[in-house]
Structure 1
Amino acid sequence: MTAPAPSLSGHLANVLLCTDPEKKRFVTREVPEVQVSFEGFVGDRHAGLTRLADVRTPWFPRGTVVRNTRQVSVVSREELTEVAHAMGIPHVMASWLGANLELVGVPRLTHLPPGTRLFFPEEATLVMEGENQPCIHPGRAIEAHHPDLKGLASRFVKAAWQKRGLVGWVERPGLIRAGDEVRVMLPPPVTYSLPAAPVPVAARQEQVA
């Protein structure tokens, strides 16, 4: 019998969108709510059923049309506080990282395994694809807010390692509002190992001898 998947809960502090039609900016802004479709957050720059393969999918030629499993970016306020402390600045805003959702109260959010589901009160359900690896672009956005501090852009990558949050995709459409309670359901734990290599016949004969 399969053990029930563990469940957590948290609070949605902020909903954020980037509505730049030319997709030249990634910084998001706070909104009170967002309509969620199978393509992602309606109006957000990352919405779409498909996307183009890039450095994150090196097993495909760059530019190949692939399923968009990066429709939504989720961060933890607690982890951003840790990132800010490591960088020596007062705070790191979720909007500077281009995040769509800022959660509070979910321990070690970035460490949640792929397949974790986020359930919202008004039907929307998201599936987490995996960790959002930190890169220098959000670091530059942070540095722009602290022009007197040099080197923040490159410092961000190390400070945000395993604290940058998650990306995911929409499993069920609905509505998400700032202030929502969020139920977090982890996938059942899976242990996988390759079968033992068969012992060659000659080796078995030597063992018998």
Structure 2
Amino acid sequence: MNSRHSEGRNGDAPVGQVRAVSRSGAHEFSKPLQPSIRLLAGLGVEGDAHSGVTVQHRSRVAADPSQPNLRQVHLLHAELFEELAAQGFEVSAGQLGENVTTLGLDLLALPVATRLHLGGEAVVEITGLRNPCAQIERFGAAQRSGLLAAVLGRDDSGQLIRKAGVMGVVLRGGEIKAGDDIRVEWPPQPWTKLDWV
């Protein structure tokens, strides 16, 4: 990775950075960039369509609207954009629907219940992986055939790898903006590998 890694205040935990923040009050695939966003404890991103105690994603609401919202905040690593560019896909922050674009953290390798301290106050607990769907190939004005396959992969044992970021819930609210540090707080062991939520 080209991005910075440094040792955090809690031992060997890495420190990353907020690259960009986004939100949308409408149920649209992409989210416009913002100067800052405010996270609300137990809800998500203030003013975002996916904020709420119970599920807000349309497919989840249709299945069971009483489910807890484990997808209050979507975080995506900016390093994915470089990987996609090498495959001919031009994608930038907010276009894949994330609220927080990160730099310098291997989000996909974090265990369930990892806490991310963003900026001076906010804390997000990771609940799982984003499960990308076919909408990823038709956001905006362009058709992006093959993008869904590009954000999926297989490991050496043939297991599916989802690369479209992680989802989390807000434990402590606060304002965050590009340039803020992200400090990792590991959960107690044994760790549970992320699965889609």
TM-score bracket relative to the smaller structure: 0.7 to 0.9
Residues 19-41 of structure 1: CA deviation (Å, up to 9, x unaligned) = 22xx3x23101111112112111
Between the aligned partners of 2:115 and 2:16, the Cα distance in structure 1 is 12
Between the aligned partners of 1:123 and 1:137, the Cα distance in structure 2 is 33
Partner of 1:203: none
Contact 2:50–2:56 (Cα < 8 Å) also in 1? no
The residue type equivalent to 1:122 in the other structure is G
The residue type equivalent to 1:50 in the other structure is T
Residues 28-80 of structure 1: CA deviation (Å, up to 9, x unaligned) = 011111121121110001100112687669xxx92241111101100011122
Q: Of 155, 160, 165, which residue of structure 1 is paired with 2:151?
A: 160
Q: Of 40, 44, 52, which residue of structure 2 is paired with 1:40?
A: 44
Contact 1:53–1:62 (Cα < 8 Å) also in 2? no
Between the aligned partners of 2:190 and 2:12, the Cα distance in structure 1 is 13
Between the aligned partners of 1:191 and 1:72, the Cα distance in structure 2 is 21
Contact 1:15–1:32 (Cα < 8 Å) also in 2? yes
**Secondary structure at 2:74 match in 1:** strand
- Whichever structure has more helix as a proportion of its residues is 1
Contact 1:6–1:186 (Cα < 8 Å) also in 2? no
Stretches of structure 1 lacking an aligned partner (at least 5 in a row):
193-209
Stretches of structure 2 lacking an aligned partner (at least 5 in a row):
1-9, 153-161, 193-197
Q: Of 10, 13, 21, which residue of structure 1 is paired with 2:16?
A: 10
List structure 1 segments (4+ residues) > 4 angstroms apart after TM superposition.
Answer: 52-57
**Secondary structure at 2:163 match in 1:** coil
The size of the alignment, in residue pairs, is: 173
**Secondary structure at 1:80 match in 2:** helix
Between the aligned partners of 2:75 and 2:13, the Cα distance in structure 1 is 18
Between the aligned partners of 1:180 and 1:85, the Cα distance in structure 2 is 28
Contact 2:111–2:191 (Cα < 8 Å) also in 1? no
Moved more, 48-57 or 28-37: 48-57
CA shift, 1:6, in A, is 4.3
In angstroms, what is the RMSD of aligned CA positions? 2.5
Contact 2:54–2:65 (Cα < 8 Å) also in 1? no
The residue type equivalent to 1:82 in the other structure is E
Q: CA separation of 1:186/1:5 partners in 2, compared to 1, >3 Å: closer, same or farther?
A: farther
**Secondary structure at 2:138 match in 1:** helix
Partner of 1:66: 67
Between the aligned partners of 1:131 and 1:191, the Cα distance in structure 2 is 15
Contact 2:17–2:182 (Cα < 8 Å) also in 1? yes
User: TM-score by structure 2 length?
Assistant: 0.78
Contact 2:94–2:101 (Cα < 8 Å) also in 1? no
**Secondary structure at 2:39 match in 1:** strand
**Secondary structure at 1:138 match in 2:** helix
Q: CA separation of 1:85/1:115 partners in 2, compared to 1, >3 Å: closer, same or farther?
A: same
CA shift, 1:177, in A, is 1.6
User: TM-score by structure 1 length?
Assistant: 0.74
CA shift, 1:7, in A, is 1.1
CA shift, 1:95, in A, is 1.7
Partner of 2:80: 79
